[in-house]
Structures are given as structure tokens and as C-alpha cells.
Amino acid sequence: MDHMISKQNSQLFVDATTKRIPIACPVHTPTPVQLRGTMHALSHIVRSEGIGALYAGLPPTLLIAVPSTVLYFTSYDLLLAAAKRKYPDHADAVPFVSGSLARCVAATVVSPIELIRIRMQAAPNAGSFAAVIQRSIAGGFVALWRGLVPTLARDVPFSAMYWGIFELLKKHLAALPALQATDNPAQTQLGIAFVAGATSGSLASVATQPFDVIKTKQQIETFSSSAETGKPLRVWRLMHEIVRTEGVGT
């Protein structure tokens, strides 16, 4: 009798080890959070990922800051001075062209670092700076410039509008009689520069914001499953997808 029970237990053990036993476990799917503005997004990130998540992508950001600023402003000053000497009759148009060309140079040079920064910020668990670089070049060295087209579509018009409007506003504001009769020229010039910069920057930002959204989405695309094919969405197709699925206000 004991022998029969032992044999049955042994058979049960064999069946348990050779057959798959389905186990039903509830799967928790996190509910997407509807963010209600900048402060709500800030508090949500700190609560869910920690304050360190606010500084994700800081190393490449610091690497971008110096070369981008130096290249941009140096190129702009050199191009502006050369164009004014060569085309003195088109002084009002020179800032538009100089700003555009200067931004082309700066954006192309720092585009790979900008790509790494965006991906580190978009994926907190993406790994180290070197790991993100290695993954980014998996599709080839040229993949580091993914997102350059929408970057130029954003930055070139922005720079053209910013510098063109900035220089024109400075010129016209400085010519106002009320501002010319001031007792503090330095303070007046500072105020003129502030108003011109704030106005031109606001107008340029509003006009080019859609391309900033497209650039960011295209640069983080390869971190999604749909991008593993190595065929990123084109700029206009991506814009159409964003409008269709998320609306114009996105």
C-alpha cells in the first residue's frame, strides 16, 4: 500500500516537472498620467522618479552649451560684419541671412550631442552616457544626426526671425526721440535690448514650436519598439501622425 502511494506521489512529481501549469496572475498596467501644466509635470517627475530625474542628460547638456554658444555667436558676428561690408544697401536683410547660416553651422556640429541628451532625458533607465552613444550608433554613424532636419527646420527660421526682428526693433527703438533724450544712455540701451530680445524671441518661439516637438519625437523614436527597424518616420509624415493622434495643440 505504501509502495502504491509512493508511486503515485512520484508520478505527480514527474507530471508537475514535465508539464506547464498555467498560473493566472493579475497584470498591473500603469494608468497614464494626465499632466496639467508645467508645475504638475515637475511634481509628478519628482514623486515618481526622484529629483535626480530633473537632471537627466546633464553631461551632454554641458557639452553642448560651450561649443554651441561659441560657434553660434562667433559665426553670426563674422557673417554679419562680412555681409554688411559686401552688401551695404541690404543692411536690414543681413541679420536674417547671417542668423540662419550661423545656426546651420552650430546645429550641425552639436546635433549628435543633442541627440544623446534628448534620449537620456526621455529614457531615465537608458544607461550611462557611453551606453546611450553605443546604442545610438547601432544603426550606423550617420544615425547620430537623426533629427537634424527638423532641428534645422526649427532653428534656422528661429534664428532668422530672432536676429532680423531684434536688429530692426533695436534700430527703430533707438531712433525714438523720447529715448534719445534720456539722461542715462546705458540704461536706455539695456532696456531697448531687453524689449527687442523678448519680443523677437517670443515671436520666433511661437512660429517654430511645432518643429521642436517633431525634432524631439524623432530623436527618441529609436528607443521605441517601432523604431528598431531602422526606418525613422519622415518629418512631414511624423507631423501628420502627431496631428492625427494627439491634435494640433500638442
pLDDT(5) > 50? no
The secondary structure of 160-224 as a DSSP string is: HHHHHHHHHHHHHHHT-HHHHT-S-HHHHHHHHHHHHHHHHHHHHHHHHHHHHHHHHHHHTGGGS
Q: Which three cell numbers stand for residue 50?
A: 526622484
**C-alpha to C-alpha distance for 164 and 207, rounded to whole angstroms:** 14
- Give, in order, the Cα–Cα distances in Å from 35 to each of 89, 189, 196: 51, 41, 33
Question: How big is the CA angle at 157 (ends 64 and 70), to the nearest 5 degrees?
Answer: 30
pLDDT single digits (tens) 13-59: 445 445 555 544 444 455 556 666 678 777 877 888 778 777 776 77
Q: Judge whether 120 and 132 are in contact, CB under 8 Å.
A: yes
Q: Confirm if 161 and 200 have CB atoms less than 8 A apart.
A: yes
Nearest to 221 by CA among 241, 205, 206: 241
d(CA 74, CA 97) in angstroms, rounded, equals 15
pLDDT score at 105: 92
**Contact between residue 204 and residue 161 where contact means Cβ atoms under 8 Å apart:** yes
Quote the Cα angle for 63-69-70, to 5°: 100
Mean pLDDT estimate for the chain: 76
CA R_g for the chain? 28
pLDDT digit string, tens, across residues 212-234: 777 777 666 654 444 444 455 56
Q: Considering only 25-29, 46-50, 63-67, 143-147, which range has the smallest mean pLDDT?
A: 25-29
Q: Which domains does the chain have, with CATH numbers?
A: 56-246 (1.50.40.10)
What is the pTM (predicted TM-score) of this model? 0.64
**Mean pLDDT across the stretch 199-208?**
92
